[in-house]
Structure 1
């Protein structure tokens, strides 16, 4: 559909040049047809390209609200910034940047250019903008740089955790072995009680023993042998 519209615009411009019998260069407005869903409170950037090296032109971005029937010209304000720059001698880019977007910014946007020398108006493709509630923004809409930063942080923390675990396990010695249980009987572990020993000592009178000494009997000789 975009290619067919673009070809029709070029054909129409070429036909006008042929009717007026003058040599002219084809001039056109290049823009993308798109549908954008923008959360409330965020920003919106749009651009289009005007390409022409011979004809002078005027115009810019126009806007149509959801319930409106006609387009109105966008003008700069505190929230709406309009700018342009030239990429080549025959090409000019028109930019619109809307800050802190709200529900009133929902609608259709396009570039509308008037060729002053030919009394002709060209329109770029329309971009349809829908403003969604801020709470309906999915957390998965994070940009790519945040995801890459999150992955890099996780990959850097993993070896640090492994090193910390290794240091903690290396510094502490293993626990001492548990001594084996003794299976000796209860009787051997009980110390025997000390027994009391009573001794009886009898003392005899030494004087009485001296008074009555024992008489040692003389040995009896049964035979005697003499050698000469």
Structure 2
């Protein structure tokens, strides 16, 4: 009886040790499918449970659509790899892909190599599908409204700037137009001088110069009255 009890305890302890080793040598990652527009960015992460044990190596691997093998991702201009420790027993591995294109479509997963005990661990696969680029209607609307406001502001400020420039430069109104020149001769444009005209008047003598003046006839007296 005691021997059976001891064997049971030993078996349970062995299972606990196996479970602890399994938890401390595992990768936590979710299986998923992502649809990412072309030209955007993608970020994936997985958690490595190592329980503080050092000496493990690994990272992210990638499998193209038409390929059957996984290749390890390395940092480049578009691919950024990083990690951080959330606790003393786990570390998060991150991959950030900028300006994604059709060549980035495929399967991604984390793979780790353990030294004690020597083994390999693979996380769940994330399938990435790259779709055609989409235009953000809200951003295009904002850009259009910004352009309209910019044009209105420019049209309102233009008269003020023009008036300020005129005031600073002292621009006077344009002179009146010059009348067209006459194509007549010089002699026609010269004003003639006034000429003096002398007139001679001759008075004729009367034809009856030698005639005697008329005699006035004496009045006729019909009666005369004398008072004494």
Normalised by the size of structure 1, how large is the TM-score? 0.49
Normalised by the size of structure 2, how large is the TM-score? 0.49
The structure number with the bigger radius of gyration is 2
